[in-house]
A and B are shown apart, each in its own frame.
Chain A
Amino acid sequence: MDEIVKEFLIESYENLDCLNRDLVALEKDPHAKETLASIFRTIHTIKGGSGFLGFGKLEAVAHVGENLLSKLRDGIITINPELASALLATVDAVRFMLGQIEITGQPGNRDFSSLIELLARLNDAKSTEAGSIPSPAPSQAVAVTATISPDQAPAVVTASPVTLPPTMKLPAAIVEPMARPAATVSVPLPPGAPASSSPPESAPTVHEPTESRASAVTDSTIRVDVALLDKLMTLVGELVLARNQVLQFTTQRVDSAFLATSQRLNLITTELQGSIMKTRMQPIGNVWGRLPRVVRDLATACGKQVRIEMEGKETELDKTIIEAIKDPLTHIVRNSVDHGIETPDVRSARGKPEEGCLKMRAYHEGGQVNIEINDDGGGIDCERVKQKALQGGLITREQASRMSDHEASRLIFLPGFSTAEKVTNISGRGVGMDVVKTNIDKIGGTVDLQSQPGKGTTLKIKIPLTLAIIPALIVTSGGDRFAIPQISLMELVRLEGEQARQQIEFIHGAAVYRLRGQLLPLAYLNRELNINGKSESELAMVSIVVLQADGHPFGLVVDEINDTEEIVVKPLSKQLKSVASFAGATIMGDGRVALILDVLGLAQRARVVTEARDRTLLENAAQARKTNDARQTLLLFDAGQGSRMAIPLSMVARLEVFPRSSVEYSGTQEVVRYRGQILPLIHVSKYVPAVGVSETSYDEEQSMQVVVVYAEQGRSVGLVVESIHDIVDETITVQRHARANGIFGSAVIQDRVTDLLDVQTIIRAADPSFYCGVSTTQLAA
């Protein structure tokens, strides 16, 4: 059957069920405006639908019904028993035709002219009092009701006695056959025929849709209260916990029957959990559905031409998450149209098609959902953003000068920033973007932004699939267990004995660990939570959980790492909402409660060096007025020929050493295979004129290459340097000079003049395509 017809049938059946209820309710309370309005709407919807789908006959019946109802609604006539039964008869007629449509695709050829006539007559008798309606009418009404299918009999039986004037006797013969099974139900009685003279035997028998067939369509879907689904979800959560408890027992026993049973329980629970989760899943298209309209209206208002493209509409997300991203998404889209995409004349002047394009893409990746919103507008003017932030006192001049374009564009997520924009009403993106970020943070998601001046802006949102049941790593600290959501987990490091003492180093009291050459700031869970665990010195080994908070890694030192487990996230009570270090609580296999760590909150609390930079900025902004002192962690290195250079450590993803022999070529580009990817290598010395090219020195003399891995937008490049000197945490004053491209400025670091490398300029010079999301084929070209 046609999908549209099916939908129509499902909807109409549901509406009819309401209608039966409403009509009966209306009879009890004839002035219930809401009920009347609801009845009217229902019939109107059916009329509209049937008209649209070309079911003329159905439309005709619904139409006269609607006319009558509109008079009722407007108070021209009031409901009386006769009207009520006529309306109920209409409902039955509609239901019959819907049944026919379901089976044959057509409303059937039964004649409803008598019903239509009756309705029309009732309609005309608008001004007459209910009692003055000619006497044949009641019998007609009865005759009509007799045409219905058997499942409706009870409704009529209750309605009929009310319908009939007291003087009219209701022959049992009518009521009875109606209550009988389908086979005996008769076709319409001749209009006006005396009710008593219509024994069912004399009427020709027609095969009508049976009850089960009539409801086949409605049976395929069912509307369920969301509260019930929530309850089911909670119960499944409990079941998962109980399952975990049972599984713990299996490790202690050797009863094979018990083992087999618990295995089965395990499987079924997992499957049940999956299915229940599915009931709560909705395609993201549900939220996107309204965006074209938003874009259209806004574009018209701004005098722009914008086309919206969507990809991955069917990507499914938990209902609660769908709800949570609704507003942020609308906001982003509005922003893109309002500020991102230029007016047609500007666009054509810039050599772009007049019609701007807004692309939305959603896809699953590693248990998360990614949503990308891309516009081909003007991009973010980083200088202007910096200016605005400076004016608003959100950043200092030093910060502004040091800031990379990417960092600058992220400034629009600062709360104060957007407000300033709003007040001055200067075009530039960022109105309320902080709200977008806050909302997405709230559901454990992240948002990142890439912008290219003149080319456009891409916002990338990563959000978890569901919030209710998540995989987590269980750790112990100070005798208590804590759960860490797996989504923020990167790796685990265990250091034993002597190794632990040597490899954890301290920079001005801050502990760091060299993880494959890169400095990983460490936070001690015991200390952060003020719990008495074993002191660091008495631990025979150190367990480091490497986590990432807002894209920045840090190590969390815990007493013990236990296991991974599926946990059910339960919210903390209101009294504990203020404790930012916990995201919730869960019940462990042994029935005890364990707290779930909020990795971001914890990282902020620990002031981990490479914590989310916009947050640091926020804090800095507050301090900026007091002290113009901004500390920065810098990586010092030698780019060749003894030149001292520095880059902010936050830009460094890793430090690696590759043997010279592992370097391969892709075209003329030097590359190495690195973590399953191809890492292009850029020799810093080639792009910094001051250093001078020293091609031979590393080719022949050095068998190893020191590479600073720089990653952005999921792509990495390796910066080849001569050697790494140090990592310093210093307050620096940058002196800008345009001496050379690729050098940002100089500063005195450790009592020596050090050049600050402009990494992005160098990468752009080496690989112009790095900052646009171009495909690999273009890259190679």
Chain B
Amino acid sequence: MTNHTRMTDSKQFATFFLNGLFFGVEVFKVQEVIRYQEMTRVPLAPRMIEGLINLRGQIVTAIDLRRRLEMPPRAAGELPMNVVVRSDDGVVSLLVDEIGDVVEVEDDIYERPPETLNGVARELIRGVYKLKERLLLILDTEKTVGLQASAAQPQKAGN
């Protein structure tokens, strides 16, 4: 999947929405996008782990990106979508609000995240593409699925 050759200095990102923000991950990291799947919760697991899904016989851990990025929870009744990404630790599903298009962006509109960004977001957002209509935030998938940062709090009783 790494053999996508580029003529110009542009990159392709698969995009999605999360709490009104526009995010992107490298398109070659995305294995597939699927609608909401029934999930098996994992008691005692870190909070951002929503559960396990059966992806054609493969058991995939689903991480709730809202919780991962310390955002307010999804409104009741809203079903998230699965963005299934490949990472060094295997295939992981990221739960997002809504799926966007695959966009191709030029490198010259890229900027590093502003210094004012703090918290988990600072660690996980690698950079920003200044699109005309909005900002595209690039998520570091390895760090996101790694759970190193702030992953230590286990699920509290009665969650």
Q: Distance (Å) between the CB of B7 and the closest chain A CB?
A: 34
B40 touches A573 (CB 8 A): no
Is residue B155 contacting chain A, with contact meaning CB distance below 8 A? yes
Is residue A307 contacting chain B, with contact meaning CB distance below 8 A? no
**Which of A573, A574, A575, A592 has a CB less than 8 Å from the CB of B54?**
A592
Cα A575 to Cα B145 with chains together (Å)? 8
B158 touches A585 (CB 8 A): no
A529 CB contacts on chain B under 8 angstroms: 43-44
Q: Give how many A residues have a beta carbon under 8 Å from the other chain's beta carbons.
A: 25
Please encode chain B, from 46 to 87, with 1 for each CB lying within 8 Å of some chain A CB and 0 for all others.
Answer: 100101111001111101000000000000000000000000
B88 nearest CB neighbor, chain A only: A574
B53 touches A593 (CB 8 A): yes
A480 touches B40 (CB 8 A): yes
Is residue A591 contacting chain B, with contact meaning CB distance below 8 A? yes
**Which of A530, A573, A585, A594 has a CB less than 8 Å from the CB of B92?**
A573
B44 touches A593 (CB 8 A): no
Is residue A268 contacting chain B, with contact meaning CB distance below 8 A? no
B43 CB contacts on chain A under 8 angstroms: 480, 529-531, 579, 581, 595
A587 touches B59 (CB 8 A): yes
Is residue A532 contacting chain B, with contact meaning CB distance below 8 A? yes
Please encode chain A, from 526 to 542, with 1 for each CB lying within 8 Å of some chain B CB and 0 for all others.
Answer: 00011110000000000
Contacts A530-B155, A573-B92, A574-B90 given; indicate if A582 touches B42 (C-beta within 8 A): yes
B158 touches A532 (CB 8 A): yes
B156 nearest CB neighbor, chain A only: A530
User: For chain A residues 570-603, which have a beta carbon within 8 Å of chain B?
Assistant: 570, 572-576, 578-579, 581-582, 585-587, 591-595
Q: Distance (Å) between the CB of B62 and the closest chain A CB?
A: 10
Contacts A241-B57, A530-B157, A573-B92 given; indicate if A593 touches B40 (C-beta within 8 A): yes
B155 CB contacts on chain A under 8 angstroms: 530
B42 touches A587 (CB 8 A): no
Please encode chain B, from 16 to 43, with 1 for each CB lying within 8 Å of some chain A CB and 0 for all others.
Answer: 0000000000000000000000111111
Contacts A238-B57, A241-B57, A575-B89 given; indicate if A592 touches B44 (C-beta within 8 A): no
A595 CB contacts on chain B under 8 angstroms: 40, 42-43, 52
Contacts A574-B89, A576-B45 given; indicate if A594 touches B63 (C-beta within 8 A): no
B103 CB contacts on chain A under 8 angstroms: none
**Which of B59, B63, B89 has a CB less than 8 Å from the CB of A585?**
B59
**Which of B44, B46, B59 has a CB less than 8 Å from the CB of A530?**
B44
Cα A238 to Cα B41 with chains together (Å)? 22
Q: Give how many B residues have a beta carbon under 8 Å from the other chain's beta carbons.
A: 31
A570 CB contacts on chain B under 8 angstroms: 58-59
B40 touches A575 (CB 8 A): no
B40, B92, B158 interface centre (most CB from chain A within 10 Å) = B40
B42 CB contacts on chain A under 8 angstroms: 576, 579, 582, 595
Cα A341 to Cα B20 with chains together (Å)? 72
B53 touches A573 (CB 8 A): no
A574 CB contacts on chain B under 8 angstroms: 89-90
Cα A574 to Cα B42 with chains together (Å)? 13
User: For chain B residues 83-135, which have a beta carbon within 8 Å of chain A?
Assistant: 89-90, 92
Contacts A587-B54, A592-B54 given; indicate if A575 touches B44 (C-beta within 8 A): no
A594 nearest CB neighbor, chain B only: B40
Cα A585 to Cα B51 with chains together (Å)? 11
Cα A397 to Cα B39 with chains together (Å)? 51
Q: Distance (Å) between the CB of B150 and the closest chain A CB?
A: 13
Cα A595 to Cα B43 with chains together (Å)? 10
A241 nearest CB neighbor, chain B only: B57
B38 CB contacts on chain A under 8 angstroms: 592
Please encode chain A, from 545 to 579, with 1 for each CB lying within 8 Å of some chain B CB and 0 for all others.
Answer: 00000000000000000000000001011111011
Cα A581 to Cα B45 with chains together (Å)? 10
Contacts A581-B43, A591-B54 given; indicate if A575 touches B63 (C-beta within 8 A): yes
B5 CB contacts on chain A under 8 angstroms: none
B46 CB contacts on chain A under 8 angstroms: 575, 578
Q: Distance (Å) between the CB of B143 and the closest chain A CB?
A: 12
Please encode chain A, from 712 to 734, with 1 for each CB lying within 8 Å of some chain B CB and 0 for all others.
Answer: 00000000000000000000000
A576 CB contacts on chain B under 8 angstroms: 42, 45, 49, 61
B46 nearest CB neighbor, chain A only: A575
Is residue B147 contacting chain A, with contact meaning CB distance below 8 A? yes
Cα A674 to Cα B129 with chains together (Å)? 77
B44 touches A573 (CB 8 A): no
Is residue B2 contacting chain A, with contact meaning CB distance below 8 A? no
B156 CB contacts on chain A under 8 angstroms: 530
Q: Distance (Å) between the CB of B144 and the closest chain A CB?
A: 11
Cα A241 to Cα B54 with chains together (Å)? 12
Cα A492 to Cα B42 with chains together (Å)? 25
A579 CB contacts on chain B under 8 angstroms: 42-45
B38 nearest CB neighbor, chain A only: A592
Q: Distance (Å) between the CB of B83 and the closest chain A CB?
A: 16
Cα A351 to Cα B117 with chains together (Å)? 79
Q: Distance (Å) between the CB of A583 and the closest chain B CB?
A: 13
Is residue B3 contacting chain A, with contact meaning CB distance below 8 A? no
B157 CB contacts on chain A under 8 angstroms: 530
Q: Distance (Å) between the CB of A399 and the closest chain B CB?
A: 31
Cα A530 to Cα B41 with chains together (Å)? 12
Contacts A238-B57, A575-B61 given; indicate if A585 touches B52 (C-beta within 8 A): yes
Q: Distance (Å) between the CB of B90 and the closest chain A CB?
A: 6
Is residue B8 contacting chain A, with contact meaning CB distance below 8 A? no
A592 CB contacts on chain B under 8 angstroms: 38, 40, 54
A593 touches B63 (CB 8 A): no
Cα A573 to Cα B85 with chains together (Å)? 13
B45, B51, B147 interface centre (most CB from chain A within 10 Å) = B45
B61, B63, B90 interface centre (most CB from chain A within 10 Å) = B61
Q: Distance (Å) between the CB of B42 and the closest chain A CB?
A: 6
Cα A43 to Cα B41 with chains together (Å)? 60
Cα A592 to Cα B51 with chains together (Å)? 11
B51 CB contacts on chain A under 8 angstroms: 593
A526 nearest CB neighbor, chain B only: B43
B54 CB contacts on chain A under 8 angstroms: 587, 591-593
A573 CB contacts on chain B under 8 angstroms: 59-61, 89-90, 92
B91 nearest CB neighbor, chain A only: A573
Cα A586 to Cα B44 with chains together (Å)? 18
B57 CB contacts on chain A under 8 angstroms: 238, 241, 587
Q: Distance (Å) between the CB of B120 and the closest chain A CB?
A: 15
Please encode chain B, from 139 to 157, with 1 for each CB lying within 8 Å of some chain A CB and 0 for all others.
Answer: 0000001010001000111
Cα A581 to Cα B155 with chains together (Å)? 14
Q: Distance (Å) between the CB of B57 and the closest chain A CB?
A: 5
User: For chain A residues 219-259, which have a beta carbon within 8 Å of chain B?
Assistant: 238, 241
Q: Distance (Å) between the CB of A715 and the closest chain B CB?
A: 39
B58 nearest CB neighbor, chain A only: A570
User: For chain A residues 487-521, which have a beta carbon within 8 Å of chain B?
Assistant: none
Cα A238 to Cα B151 with chains together (Å)? 32
A582 nearest CB neighbor, chain B only: B42
Cα A576 to Cα B62 with chains together (Å)? 11
Contacts A238-B57, A575-B46 given; indicate if A530 touches B63 (C-beta within 8 A): no
Cα A595 to Cα B59 with chains together (Å)? 11
B147 touches A575 (CB 8 A): yes
Q: Distance (Å) between the CB of B26 and the closest chain A CB?
A: 20
B158 touches A530 (CB 8 A): yes
Cα A575 to Cα B57 with chains together (Å)? 19
A593 CB contacts on chain B under 8 angstroms: 39-40, 51-54, 59
Please encode chain A, from 425 to 446, with 1 for each CB lying within 8 Å of some chain B CB and 0 for all others.
Answer: 0000000000000000000000
The 4 closest A-B pairs by CB, nearest first: A529-B43, A593-B40, A573-B61, A593-B52
- What 9 additional pairs, Cβ within 8 angstroms, besides A575-B63, A576-B42, A593-B52? A238-B57, A480-B43, A529-B44, A530-B43, A530-B44, A531-B43, A585-B59, A587-B59, A592-B54
On B, residues with C-beta under 8 Å from A are 38-46, 49, 51-54, 57-61, 63, 89-90, 92, 145, 147, 151, 155-159
Instruction: List, sorted by A's number, 10 A–B pairs whose CB atoms are closer than 8 Å.
Output: A480-B40, A530-B158, A530-B159, A573-B90, A575-B49, A575-B61, A575-B147, A576-B45, A579-B42, A593-B52
